[in-house]
Amino acid sequence: MSHESAGEEPVPKYPFRILHVFFPEIMLKRADVLPEGTFNIPLQIEVAFGFTQTAIPQRYALRIRASSGDEKSDISIVIVGVAVFESVGEKDPSDQEIADFVRERALLATTSRFLQILGTSTGQMGMPPIWPNTPMEFGFDVGIVSAARAAPTVEKEPAPVERQGT
């Protein structure tokens, strides 16, 4: 067990800070009358990652989209969650450090809110709450980060909409 000297800041495992997690799209539809029984709703999960070009320190965006069903389904779901985080270390993080942070922290920060919205909303719609597998089970590796680094960066950082005063 290590002891820190008085006044020393603890060294973070990852040199990143999550700035915000938000949901630019939430759509849940259900039929007026649902069939009896338990719902088995397979969700299709997509995970995307990118760098922003205008921010210093470097900022990153993780986007998770879950969808199921279509217009003819008894239940259809689309939820998009975005986590924006930045580097706070003294040096540029490696692709492996970024991938580890996304896998161990950013996915959890996004999916925990995502699952809460989905479970609570479907429960309030008069049906058994839906608790799907999280995107962490779908994997996120250093190759995704390396591919994003090689791709064009997004011009503008995604951000939650600012509330206007009334």
Number of domains in the chain: 1
Q: What is the pLDDT of residues 34-87, one digit of tens each?
A: 777 666 677 788 888 888 766 566 788 898 888 887 778 888 889 999 999 988
**Residue 113 sits in which domain range?**
39-150
Largest distance between two CA atoms of the chain: 64
Residue 155 located in a structural domain:
no
Residue 72 lies in a domain: yes
CATH number at residue 52: 3.10.420
- What does the alpha-carbon distance between residue 105 and residue 102 come to, in Å, rounded to a whole number? 6
Looking at the domain assignment, is residue 137 inside a domain? yes
Cα gap 77→44, rounded to integer Å: 10
* Element housing 50 (H / E): strand 44-51
Nearest residue to 21 (alpha-carbon basis) of 97, 100, 103, 113: 113
- Among 142, 13, 22, which Cα is nearest to 84's? 22
Asked if residues 157 and 55 have their Cβ atoms less than 8 Å apart, the reply is yes
Give per-residue pLDDT as tens, 100-135. Answer: 999 888 888 888 888 888 888 888 887 877 777 655
